[in-house]
Amino acid sequence: MISITCCDGVGVIGGNKILLEDEEKDTRIFLDFGLDFSQAGKYYEDFLQKRTSRGCLDYLIMGVLPPVQGLYRDDIEPPGLWEHPFLKNHPHLRRANKIDGIILSHAHLDHWGLIGYLKKEIPLYTGSVSALLIKATQDAGSSDHATEAILLNPKTWEKGSAQSDSRADYITRELKITGERLTGEAVEFLHESRRVTKKIPPIKISPGDIVGNIRLESYPVDHSILGASAYALETSSGWVVYTGDFRLHGENGHLVKNFIKAAAGLKPRVLICEGTRAGSKKGTSEAEVEAYSLEAVRMCPHLVFADFGLRNMERLFSFERIAQYSGRRLVISEKAAYLLYALSRQDAAAKTLLSSSNVYIYKESSTSASTWKKELPEKVNLRFVEAKQIRENQEKALLCMGFYDLNELPDIIPRPGSLYIYSSTEAFTDEQVLDRRRLMNWLDYFKMDVIPKMDPLTGKFTDEAEKHYHSSGHISGEELLEAVREINPEILIPVHTEDPGWFERELKNDKIRVVLPVRGEPIKI
């Protein structure tokens, strides 16, 4: 018998933390350990944040972390934590036996953003590209133990407060690489330190084919980030397949078809499946986004901005081609360049882009002395440009910059009629609505055009133009049903969806038994 407990990712999109326990094989595994933005967003925002000085306490009390005793790092557990009156009476309080590994499907924060809280002894199983992206994100981000997935900065408790131990070097989490093995350049990057005063001890890196006593199979899939994988585990109750996030309409949709066929061949007992777009029809492909965006860029005689997710490298590759086809230079942010550098240690396409004579890096006006920024000119061969150069050659530039780069506009001064291509999703949360309003205020102030058109009050698209400029990272509902039926598991557990009941309704005439998870409650199989 095995037990599957969805500690999060139930009735919401993201935040997957799925505990698989196989007592017969004496193995316990977490499938992803991500940040549930919807839960955290109920209580926190930019100027109301958790107290890092209290370690894991705030997130445990507010339901962002599951109440599992023995799971978290000793150096961020406040003394007497589990005697806290809220926790010791929690209905889902449990004690963790030894966890044999965390299996990470891909490097979006809603899947890995809380791994840094977990005990350093728990190895991380993930693909080579995901490992590089996590390391780069930590290098170029703010210091926070939540995202210390691979490199842990030790804390010490003083007067009830967790403080970084300036005398201690980093601690490394063991990496178990699934699928494609790391290149020598990738291993070297993982061992580079961005903190001058801190040393990184050697990271133990080995193949990720066995977790505890369970055989693990990995399958590369297509998603809106490079390096995504699905996984299958051979448990004592049969094969358990976990999709992670995936889609069929990207450049690498063939990988997903290969995964579906392989998963079906396993005759799985359980399929743990994402359902982000449950009920939706087929959407826009990445190829269509590129075609429509190219047409829009060619028609604009002024400066063009492209706003999309920083880690959506497939979209970046598309806009690099668009820049070439339209006779423009592609200008990327320093952070995007650093992520590209990290990826180039393993990925050939990223390395090619970094060597392009048509790609430039925008030198921000910030005087930040971050180590990664200082070293960037030594890492990449791309030329840097400043606001003045963009301002004087606006018809020749395509800037890949987004909402958090808008404060550069007073230096760039885009001409009226410049174009802002919003190549991302419309607003869904109150915070996103406010951000879209601010975006529209900036664009109105500088008399810029935006596609697709958005309602300035709701942040929603005003017509069907969304389908032209953004392609979802998730499989459509109708394609998902086809995939589930082809894999044909005995049991399906839907996660990462706001409508888990959709699976029940759509599969009621199939022989697949849908089990709707309840947060924190084990499913015995």
Q: To the nearest whole number, what is the mean pLDDT of the chain?
A: 93
> How far apart (Å, rounded) are the C-alpha atoms in residues 180 and 220?
9
What is the phi/psi pair of residue 172, to 5°? -110, 145
**pLDDT of amino acid 346:** 96
> How far apart (Å, rounded) are the C-alpha atoms in residues 161 and 467?
49
> How far apart (Å, rounded) are the C-alpha atoms in residues 18 and 9?
8
Give the type of residue at 491. Answer: I
CB 448 within 8 A of CB 417: yes
Q: 464 pLDDT band (50/70/90 cuts)?
A: low
213-217, 320-324, 366-370, 450-454: which has the minimum mean pLDDT? 366-370
> How far apart (Å, rounded) are the C-alpha atoms in residues 389 and 380?
20
CB 359 within 8 A of CB 353: yes
**pLDDT of amino acid 168:** 83
What is the phi/psi pair of residue 308, to 5°? -155, 170
> How far apart (Å, rounded) are the C-alpha atoms in residues 70 and 284?
45
Please write the tens of the pLDDT for every residue from 183-208.
Answer: 999 999 998 876 556 777 889 999 99
Predicted confidence (pLDDT) at residue 117 exceeds the cutoff of 60 = yes
State the DSSP string of 453-467: -B-TTT--BSSTTHH
Average pLDDT over residues 432-448: 92
- Residues whose CB is less than 8 angstroms from the CB of residue 250 and which lie 6 or more positions away in sequence, other chains included: 222, 223, 224, 285, 286, 314, 471, 473
Predicted confidence (pLDDT) at residue 96 exceeds the cutoff of 90 = no
**pLDDT of amino acid 429:** 75
459: left (phi over 0), alpha (psi -120 to 50) or beta: left
Q: Any idea how long the chain is?
A: 525
6-20, 66-80, 460-474, 503-517: which has the minimum mean pLDDT? 460-474
CATH 3.60.15.10-classified regions of the chain: 2-279+474-524
Helix, strand, coil % over all residues of the chain, rounded to 5: 35, 20, 45
**pLDDT of amino acid 389:** 96
**Exposed (0-12), middle (13-18) or buried (19+): which is 94, by Cβ within 10 Å?**
middle
**pLDDT of amino acid 364:** 87
**CATH code of the domain occupying 2-279+474-524:** 3.60.15.10
Percent of the chain at pLDDT > 90 equals 79
Provide the token pair at 153: 């900065």
Please write the tens of the pLDDT for every residue from 149-160.
Answer: 999 989 999 888
**CATH topology classification for 286-469:** Rossmann fold (3.40.50)
CB 70 within 8 A of CB 96: yes
Q: 510 pLDDT band (50/70/90 cuts)?
A: very high
Overall pTM surpassing 0.85 (yes/no) = yes
Please write the tens of the pLDDT for every residue from 221-252.
Answer: 999 999 999 999 999 999 999 999 999 999 99
CA nearest to 30, candidates 154, 266, 270, 212: 212
**pLDDT of amino acid 271:** 98
Q: How much is the CA Rg of the chain, to the nearest whole Å?
A: 23
SS3 per residue for 137-170: HHHCCCCCHHHCCCEECCEEEECCEEEECCCCCC
**pLDDT of amino acid 428:** 72
Please write the tens of the pLDDT for every residue from 244-301.
Answer: 999 999 999 999 999 999 999 999 999 999 999 999 988 889 999 999 999 999 999 9
Q: 143 pLDDT band (50/70/90 cuts)?
A: low
CA atoms within 13 A on the CB side of 195: 18
CATH 3.40.50.10710-classified regions of the chain: 286-469
Rounded to whole angstroms, what are the CA distances from 121 to 55, 70, 243, 249, 269? 18, 12, 26, 38, 30
